[in-house]
């Protein structure tokens, strides 16, 4: 009977380190000690620990902490060169900020996750900012607070407010201009359909425009200093729908058609109201979502309603 040879796991320290780095490349978000143990069951715990400690000491691995325990992640070479000479506390704060992504993280949450004193965190944040590893971004959600994120990240719309905010101020005039121009485009589309003298059904269908057509028209006007997306234009069109000036319909569209999403396309057209709105509806009270909670002497009352004051001034 032929002798069966069992392949033994290599216990060479260099090979163990290389295998750990390969595992980190397979799982870029990080691996646990259990993953390493499952991959190399014949390697003793002491040998694994020595290999991991060496990779940490030479700056090839990052040590992270999550809800399940410790994670090991391959260090980015560019970040590693910038973080050279940083102590463990600074590395920990950097990792916390990195995990927050482009939505950023408050200094209070950094303190909670790192368990470091606030004075130490403020010192570390200033140091990381000076190295251009992180940046502070003002959030529209809280004007007096800043969130921190990696220096090369573009802040999420929930932080900046998107195209409708400039230096945390809502650009109401800009939004109003876009409202007018979008409605003007849809009105001209409807007028051209009526002038075509075709059948009523054909006129109605040709009066619709896609959000891509409206977006292209606005871009060609050049009235926006910031780059607008189709999503931004659809937000404006939705406000016109709420005002009763525009109606929307959804049709099936071929995959790959410009402006279609998941095989569907939104079409918009300008409409004229059949009857004029009553005077009560035109007042702030007629559209107020907290009408039932409004009473004199309460937190919401007619005497301190800013919308009522603006309407009376108008």
**What pTM did the predictor assign?**
0.50
Task: Give tens-digit pLDDT for 82-135.
Answer: 666 677 788 888 888 888 888 888 888 888 888 888 889 899 899 988 888 889
Element (H, E) at 209: strand 209-210
User: Between the CA of residue 280 and those of 276, 286, 288, 293, 314, what are the distances in Å?
Assistant: 12, 5, 11, 18, 16
Length of the chain: 314
pLDDT tens-digit map of 237-286: 988 888 888 888 888 877 767 766 777 888 998 887 666 666 666 677 77
| Residue 182: pLDDT band with limits 50, 70, 90 | very high
Q: Check pLDDT > 50 for residue 73.
A: yes
Reply yes or no on whether the pLDDT at 227 is more than 60. Answer: yes
Task: State in Å, rounded, how far the first CA of the chain is from the last one.
Answer: 102
DSSP SS3 for 139? strand
How confident is the model over 8-27, as pLDDT tens digits?
Answer: 445 788 888 888 888 888 88
For tokens 């849809």, the residue is 186
Q: What is the pLDDT of residue 5?
A: 45
User: What is the rounded average pLDDT for all residues in the chain?
Assistant: 80
- Report the pLDDT averaged over residues 159-175: 75
Residue 160 makes CB contacts below 8 A (sequence gap 6+) with 137, 140
3-state secondary structure of 8: coil
Is pLDDT at 4 greater than 50 in this prediction? no
- pLDDT for 277: 63
8 A C-beta contact, residue 137 and residue 149: yes
């Amino acid at each position: 009977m032929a002798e069966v040879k069992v392949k033994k796991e290599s216990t060479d320290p260099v090979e163990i380190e290389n295998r750990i780095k390969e595992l980190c490349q397979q799982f870029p978000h990080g691996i646990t000690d259990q993953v390493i143990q499952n991959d190399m069951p014949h390697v003793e715990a002491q040998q694994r620990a020595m290999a991991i400690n060496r990779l940490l000491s030479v700056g090839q691995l990052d040590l992270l902490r999550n809800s399940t325990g410790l994670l090991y992640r391959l260090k980015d070479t560019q970040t590693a060169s910038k973080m050279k000479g940083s102590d463990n506390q600074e590395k920990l704060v950097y990792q916390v900020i990195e995990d927050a992504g482009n939505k950023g993280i408050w200094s209070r949450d950094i303190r909670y996750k790192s368990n470091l004193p606030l004075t130490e965190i403020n010192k570390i944040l200033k140091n990381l900012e000076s190295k251009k590893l992180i940046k502070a971004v003002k959030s529209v959600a809280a004007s007096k607070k800043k969130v921190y994120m990696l220096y090369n990240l573009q802040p999420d719309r929930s932080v900046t407010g998107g195209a409708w905010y400039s230096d945390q101020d809502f650009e109401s005039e800009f939004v109003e201009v876009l409202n007018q121009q979008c409605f003007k485009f849809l009105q001209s589309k409807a007028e051209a359909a009526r002038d075509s003298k075709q059948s009523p059904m054909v006129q109605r269908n040709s009066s619709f425009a896609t959000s891509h057509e409206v977006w292209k028209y606005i871009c060609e006007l050049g009235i926006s200093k910031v780059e607008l997306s189709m999503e931004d234009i659809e937000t404006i069109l939705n406000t016109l729908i709420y005002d009763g000036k525009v109606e929307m319909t959804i049709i099936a569209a071929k995959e790959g058609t410009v402006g279609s999403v998941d095989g569907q396309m939104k079409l918009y057209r300008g409409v004229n109201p059949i009857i004029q709105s009553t005077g009560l509806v035109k007042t702030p009270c007629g559209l107020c979502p907290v009408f039932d909670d409004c009473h004199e002497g309460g937190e919401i009352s007619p005497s301190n309603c800013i919308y009522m004051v603006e309407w009376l001034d108008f």
